[in-house]
């Protein structure tokens, strides 16, 4: 079957009641996680700077701006771009194993379009599910070999068409309109720039995977197609098709249509237990287990020997002393120091003084990556005459080692505590997980704080429920 038509028919025709129980549960879980990551990103200076830049930028460098509320504030395209950058900013958001993040691109486009269309909760759930499912399938269909990935890599560029599909569902677009929306998004997706924005010689930049541009491309494509714009509907076909355009040496079109609407790739989306690159997660789990097995408190750890995925053996993962949040998310020595010191995963990892903690700096210098890469996370922790080695195949939060409901709720609560009271947080978590029960979604999203982002402003939240 024509893969573009298959995705378009799936998107235009999906209803909340078509989801299996497991798919509905997963969509609600992923949505709650993405929303919490987005809102919490406004608690760090980098997040407020992004919102300040894209939210009423005409106010000028020293001018005042109204508070920013995720998914609701700001001009439509600038707003969805802001939301997407925020969703991925903490590097704490969902991940399709081996292929990158999905929800940070698709959720903002679906929710912004749902608000615009005054969609019901059930319609919004269908739109969010379309985005997740199409995103997983596009990521898998275009996943390059490691050799190609070492040359060209990008995530946002591959997920922009899924954002268009989800937005089209929220806007109640026809199959033909949706087909053109996806094609337009393929043609306007951002460059696959990660080899420079993350792995280049200038440190990890704020752009990372360029999720904001991808979400904006997806929503813009849906709006254009809704108003009659036509896209190149042969965009997936031939040697010059979409996969080649985004630098992949792999194209598996059958993945886009195989059992679509009957089996759910989004059930294989994982959540993150740690706010850092997924390549490091199995190593973190192994290091903590080896520490406990050896019975070593952090102060007695003398050496941490690590084997893991190919990518952790070079910059930016080898940076022992990061000074920015983005560098810290990819610094294996810093990440392991935070984990071995039992610093609560989340915003505490990115406090300004965290980078300068003497105990963290000292422990980071003891992390080494000798030997050959390993498909497993394998860590040996030694000190005080004791040593232990642990191997971990699947990190916590991955499909084969999923976070429990209690762990998912604890993560959600940790990201939002201090800005919302416990009762409000618990209520928001349950309402997001049961989105189809909402008459409309505006009131639910208004339960999250609006944040002052003016230049020089304090970290404050207004409009608490």
Q: Specify the pLDDT at position 55.
A: 80
Task: Give residue-wise pLDDT tens across range 52-82.
Answer: 888 865 555 556 667 899 999 988 999 999 9
The pLDDT confidence band at residue 107, using thresholds 50, 70 and 90, is very high
The pLDDT confidence band at residue 341, using thresholds 50, 70 and 90, is very high
Task: Give residue-wise pLDDT tens across range 28-60.
Answer: 999 999 999 999 999 999 999 999 888 865 555
Q: What is the mean pLDDT of residues 91-104?
A: 94
For 243-278, b/e burial (b = at least 16 CB within 10 A) is bebbbbeebebebbbbebeeebbbbebbbbbbbbbb
Domain 278-392, CATH number (from 3.30.1330.120, 3.40.50.620, 3.40.50.150, 2.60.40.10)? 3.30.1330.120
Q: What is the mean pLDDT of residues 379-396?
A: 97
Tokens for 196, please give them: 């420079």
Give the 3-state secondary structure percentages of the chain, helix then strand then coil, rounded to 5: 55, 10, 40
Intrachain domains 3-270 and 278-392 with the same fold:
no
Look at residue 456 and tell me whether its pLDDT is greater than 80. no
Count CB-CB contacts under 10 A for residue 83: 34
Distance (Å, whole) CA 433 – CA 444: 12
Q: Which residue has the higher pLDDT, 363 or 351?
A: 363
Q: What are phi and psi of 417, to 5 degrees?
A: -65, 145
Distance (Å, whole) CA 463 – CA 69: 9
Task: Give residue-wise pLDDT tens across range 429-446.
Answer: 999 999 999 999 999 999
Tokens for 279, please give them: 């390549």
Q: What is the mean pLDDT of residues 186-194?
A: 96
Tokens for 263, please give them: 């089996």
Tokens for 435, please give them: 């989105």
Q: What is the mean pLDDT of residues 22-27?
A: 98
Q: What is the mean pLDDT of residues 280-305?
A: 97
Under 8 Å between Cβ of 229 and 185: no
**Residue 417 DSSP SS3:** strand
- Average pLDDT of every residue of the chain: 94
Look at residue 167 and tell me whether its pLDDT is greater than 90. yes
Q: Which residues contact 325 (CB under 8 A, 6 or more apart)?
A: 44, 46, 350
Residue ranges of the domains in the chain? Answer: 3-270, 278-392
Q: Specify the pLDDT at position 227.
A: 98
3-270 sits in which CATH class? mainly alpha
Q: Up-side HSE of residue 286: CA atoms within 13 Å toward CB?
A: 25
Q: What are phi and psi of 3, to 5 degrees?
A: -65, -35
Q: What is the mean pLDDT of residues 220-237?
A: 98
Eight-class DSSP state of 144: P
Q: What is the mean pLDDT of residues 318-338?
A: 95
Distance (Å, whole) CA 389 – CA 332: 18
Q: Which residue bears the tokens 């098709």?
A: 241
The pLDDT confidence band at residue 244, using thresholds 50, 70 and 90, is very high
Distance (Å, whole) CA 348 – CA 344: 6
Q: Specify the pLDDT at position 66.
A: 78
């Amino acid at each position: 079957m024509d893969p573009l038509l298959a995705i378009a028919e799936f998107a235009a025709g999906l209803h909340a009641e078509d989801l299996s129980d497991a798919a509905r549960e997963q969509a609600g879980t992923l949505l709650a996680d993405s929303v919490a990551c987005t809102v919490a990103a406004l608690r760090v200076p980098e997040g407020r700077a992004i919102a300040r830049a894209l939210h009423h930028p005409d106010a000028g460098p020293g001018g005042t701006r109204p508070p920013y509320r995720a998914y609701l504030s700001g001009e439509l395209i600038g707003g969805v771009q802001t939301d997407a950058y925020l969703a991925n900013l903490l590097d704490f958001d969902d991940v399709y194993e081996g292929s990158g993040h999905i929800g940070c691109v698709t959720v903002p486009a679906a929710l912004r379009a749902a608000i615009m269309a005054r969609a019901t909760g059930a319609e919004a759930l269908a739109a969010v599910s379309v985005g997740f499912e199409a995103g997983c399938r596009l990521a898998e269909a275009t996943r390059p070999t490691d050799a190609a990935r070492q040359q060209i890599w990008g995530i946002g560029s591959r997920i922009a068409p899924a954002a268009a599909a989800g937005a089209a569902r929220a806007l109640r677009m026809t199959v033909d309109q949706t087909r053109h929306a996806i094609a337009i998004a393929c043609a306007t997706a951002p460059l696959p720039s990660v080899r420079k924005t993350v792995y280049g010689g200038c440190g990890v930049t704020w752009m990372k995977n360029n999720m904001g541009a991808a979400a904006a491309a997806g929503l813009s494509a849906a709006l254009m197609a809704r108003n009659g714009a036509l896209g190149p509907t042969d965009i997936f076909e031939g040697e010059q098709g979409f996969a080649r355009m985004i630098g992949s040496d792999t194209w598996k079109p059958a993945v886009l249509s195989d059992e679509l609407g009957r089996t759910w790739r989004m059930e294989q989306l994982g959540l993150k237990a740690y706010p850092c690159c997924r390549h490091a997660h199995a190593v973190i789990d192994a290091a903590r287990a080896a520490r406990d097995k050896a019975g070593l408190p952090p102060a007695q750890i003398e050496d941490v020997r690590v084997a893991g995925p190919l990518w952790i053996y070079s910059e930016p993962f080898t940076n022992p002393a990061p000074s920015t949040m983005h560098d810290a998310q990819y610094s294996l020595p810093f990440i392991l120091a935070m984990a071995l010191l039992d610093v609560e995963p989340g915003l505490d990892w990115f406090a300004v003084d965290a980078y300068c903690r003497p105990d963290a700096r000292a422990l980071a210098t003891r992390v080494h990556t000798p030997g050959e890469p390993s498909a497993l996370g394998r860590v040996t922790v030694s000190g005080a005459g004791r040593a232990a080695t642990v191997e971990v195949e699947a990190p916590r939060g991955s499909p084969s080692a999923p976070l429990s409901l209690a762990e998912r709720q604890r993560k959600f609560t940790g990201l939002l505590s201090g800005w919302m009271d416990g009762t409000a947080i618990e209520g928001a978590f349950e309402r997001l997980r049961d989105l189809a029960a909402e008459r409309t979604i505006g009131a639910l999203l208004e339960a999250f704080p609006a944040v002052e982002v003016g230049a020089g402003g304090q970290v404050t939240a207004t409009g608490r429920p």
